[in-house]
Amino acid sequence: MTLTRANTAAKPRKEKPYRGRGSADIMKPTPGGLVGKYALLVGVLVIMVFPFLWQMSTSFKGATENIYDFPPQLIPAAPTLDNYAEVFRTIPVIDYAWHSLLVGVGTVITNVVFATLGGYALGTMKFRFKWVILAIFSSTLLLPAEVTLTSQYLTIKSLGLANTLWGVFLPGAIAAINVLLMMAACRMVPADALDAATIDGANTMQRLRHIVWPNIRGMVSVVALFSFIGAWDDFLWPLVVLSDPANYTLTVGMQYLSSNFAANPRVIAAGTMIGLVPIIVLFAVLQKHFFRGVEEGSVKG
């Protein structure tokens, strides 16, 4: 009996997720605030997730099912893969996905390498006209991509890279926002650690490799994920550069479905899901590193 009482007393009291009456813990919400918070989260979840669920449901519905029922029926009565088979019969999905993968992987590599080098220089080094370079990088963020579309195309055409995957890849090889993100991450590295490494005889690449890189890997994962998603989902630029269907990326190839199956949104929904699945899988695999990078806003001393 004594042992049982001791075990009962040793159990930690479960902490309530809300602030009780008379509590001074302002970091916890009141019961009403907790209910409101979860209600808001559920509302946002419905708004953002419902279109995806409806699209996925449509892709599995047969020709006899009405996809415009209200309220919508998210569970198909007779699920079928015929719409996905039609997509593969209509366009070379594997070839287009391979093209998108090549562009996406290349974009990730160049953005990680060059954004890290540029961010290190802007975040830790002192040199003349540094503020001018920062102003140029920042100003590019104020211009929508459509403004520079013509100049980019003329540049790519003059290089002889029109209608090639190199032409699709090159303008996105490095993004100004990624350089600024890496600059912010590099600024969080203690200057004393860099100075001590310099006194010990470490050169720039050694400081970058052994001191800076371990502290910015979280932000690197954010840059890598955003770069891949941007390259994979890009539609307008590949549509402008590519004219030969044999060189299409997946997003441009899927546009063929919209023009040929406008009367059958089920096939279009299946094509959309095929293009979306790799992004979902990638994010599911890398979400731990992604959120870790978002949380690492500073370097602990």
Residue range 220-250, pLDDT digits in tens: 888 888 899 889 888 888 988 988 888 888 8
**Digit-coded pLDDT (tens) for 9-31:** 455 566 666 666 656 555 666 66
SS3 annotation, the chain: CHHHHHHHHHCCCCCCCCCCCCCCCCCCCCHHHHHHHHHHHHHHHHHHHHHHHHHHHHHCCCCCCCCCCCCCCCCCCCCCCHHHHHHHHHCCHHHHHHHHHHHHHHHHHHHHHHHHHHHHHHHHCCCCCHHHHHHHHHHHCCCCHHHHHHHHHHHHHHCCCCCCHHHHHHHHCCCHHHHHHHHHHHHCCCHHHHHHHHHCCCCHHHHHHHHHHHHHHHHHHHHHHHHHHHHHHCCHHHHHHCCCHHHCCHHHHHHHHHHHCCCCHHHHHHHHHHHHHHHHHHHHHHHHHHHHHHHCCCCCC
Is pTM, for the whole model, over 0.75? yes
What is the average pLDDT score of the chain?
80
pLDDT, position 263: 63
